[in-house]
Amino acid sequence: MMSSTSGIVLLVVYLGVCVESKLSYGCYGPPGSPCTKHTLSCAKGEVISLSDNLGVITFAKKLNTSSCEPVLQDECDTNSCCKPGDDSKPSDVMPVSEADKILIYNQCSNKESCTVTSPYKHNSDYNYLQYFYFCMLGSKVNNITDKQNTTHSRSGFLYFTGQTKPSSHLTCSCEVTSPGKINVISYFVNLSPDTCSRVKISSQNRQLVKCDHKGGALIFNKWLDQVKEAITIDFDDFSAKRTDTIWFEFGPERDKELNINCTGCIHINSGPALTPAGFKLGVVTAITIIIPLLITGRHL
Ligand SMILES: *[C@@H]1O[C@H](CO)[C@@H](O)[C@H](O)[C@H]1NC(C)=O
Ligand SMILES: *[C@@H]1O[C@H](CO)[C@@H](O)[C@H](O)[C@H]1NC(C)=O
Ligand SMILES: *[C@@H]1O[C@H](CO)[C@@H](O)[C@H](O)[C@H]1NC(C)=O
Ligand SMILES: *[C@@H]1O[C@H](CO)[C@@H](O)[C@H](O)[C@H]1NC(C)=O
């Protein structure tokens, strides 16, 4: 417990920016049962940064469950079994699985709010879940894909997700420089085995993120390194998967400035993204407009 407390302090110091920490609770129950959708949220203009290096997306068991009744849908926020209550400390906590953690990070990272399906552990009778996260200003989080040359007196942040615009063949780079040393902190890096080799994050030819033996890369909140030389993020013909995410903080030394210089991505989008609805529309168009035209054309 001691170490987690100091861990929180450490993280806030590293952030070097004004952030608000939050602890949210949600009811525990098998999928589909009442109150098993949980919403995490920040104020307008702020975004969620999960912080699970401390094991804080956890199942929790209440100390005193004598008053626990089955939860009803209209009492998700009020049912006393869904939060710690007077006895404040849970009697037992257990981190959620890595797969659940990835899902929650994917859905919530850098979003103003998100609603997640509560993780569930078969054959375990926990009472509630705890989500610990920070809220930070969204405008501080720069997109890797945008052309930019920005100077920061404190930490700078670079972000990429394959979720918003499915993009193919991205080629671009960002360079992060400072007159002093730079702390490199991962908030979340998730690259699939198919795409990891297309992304290079390095300083002086030293890779800061390495693709693992399965080919991908997965890093939650972690201080990675302190470097003296420029850091580059290179996308080389990178066709991102929806789950691909990169989120870094770059912290300069005190009183030193940080420069982020990005080329902006050149990308060949393979036409408008075909959502299932878009695809249906396309098929309907083909049947109702194009095919009759072809047939008419043939008759002319
Ligand atoms: C548990 O909670 C019930 C109802 O809130 C209370 O009456 C009881 O005294 C508590 N038991 C302990 C051991 O604290
Ligand atoms: C980054 O891109 C997203 C989605 O296109 C946008 O909503 C956000 O404002 C951008 N962030 C910055 C700092 O420009
Ligand atoms: C980026 O900005 C810095 C400081 O504002 C400036 O010195 C530098 O020349 C700029 N670089 C480019 C490529 O625009
Ligand atoms: C910034 O980016 C431009 C365009 O890629 C590049 O020519 C320039 O050298 C970069 N400047 C710095 C200071 O990194």
Other CB atoms within a 10 A radius of the CB of residue 283 amount to 10
Output DSSP code: residue 288: I
State which H helix or E strand residue 295 sits in: helix 291-299
Q: Tens digit of pLDDT for each residue in 65-104? A: 877 878 888 889 888 889 887 667 888 889 999 999 999 9
- End-to-end alpha-carbon separation of the chain, Å? 82
| Whether the Cβ atoms of residue 43 and residue 135 lie closer than 8 Å to each other | yes
Q: Is the pTM of this model over 0.85?
A: no
Cα 248 to its chain centre, rounded Å, is 11
Of 32-46, 84-98, 138-152, 197-211, which gets the smallest average pLDDT?
84-98
Tokens of 286: 């083909």
Tokens of 284: 């309907």
Pocket lining for ligand 3, CB < 6 angstroms: 149, 151, 261
Q: Tens digit of pLDDT for each residue in 129-187? A: 999 999 999 999 999 999 999 999 999 999 999 987 667 899 999 999 999 999 999 99
- Is the shortest distance between the CB of 261 and ligand 4 below 6 Å? yes
Burial class of residue 166, CB neighbours in 10 A (0-12, 13-18, 19+): middle
Q: What are phi and psi of 278, to 5 degrees?
A: -60, -40
| Whether the Cβ atoms of residue 238 and residue 195 lie closer than 8 Å to each other | yes
Q: Ligand 3 centre and the CA of 56: distance in Å?
A: 40
Distance CA(274)–CA(282), nearest Å, equals 9
Instruction: Mention every residue, 6+ apart, whose C-beta is less than 8 A from residue 297.
Output: none
18 band by pLDDT with thresholds 50, 70 and 90: low
| Residue whose tokens read 């203009």 | 45
All domains of the chain in start order, with CATH: 5-137 (no CATH), 144-267 (2.60.120)
Q: What are phi and psi of 197, to 5 degrees?
A: -70, -10
Q: Which ligand is nearest to the CA of 81?
A: 1
Counting Cα atoms < 13 Å in the Cβ hemisphere of 231 gives 29
Q: Which ligand is nearest to the CA of 167?
A: 2
- pLDDT: is 266 or 163 the higher one? 163
Helices vs strands, H then E, count in the chain = 4, 19
| Whether the Cβ atoms of residue 219 and residue 270 lie closer than 8 Å to each other | no
Q: Ligand 4 centre and the CA of 173: distance in Å?
A: 10
Tokens of 251: 């912290």
For ligand 2, what atom is nearest to the CA of residue 143?
1
Question: Which residue's CA lies nearest to atom 11 of ligand 1?
Answer: 64
Cα 277 to its chain centre, rounded Å, is 26
- Report the alpha-carbon angle 211-151-263, nearest 5: 50
State which H helix or E strand residue 285 sits in: helix 276-285
Distance CA(130)–CA(187), nearest Å, equals 19
Query: Which residue from 63, 65, 66 has its CB within 8 A of the most atoms of ligand 1, so it is best to mutate?
Result: 66
The secondary structure of 69-116 as a DSSP string is -PPPGGGTTT-GGGS--TT-S-SEEEEPPHHHHHHHHHHHTT-SEEEE
Distance CA(238)–CA(269), nearest Å, equals 12
Is the predicted pLDDT of residue 14 greater than 60, yes or no?
A: no
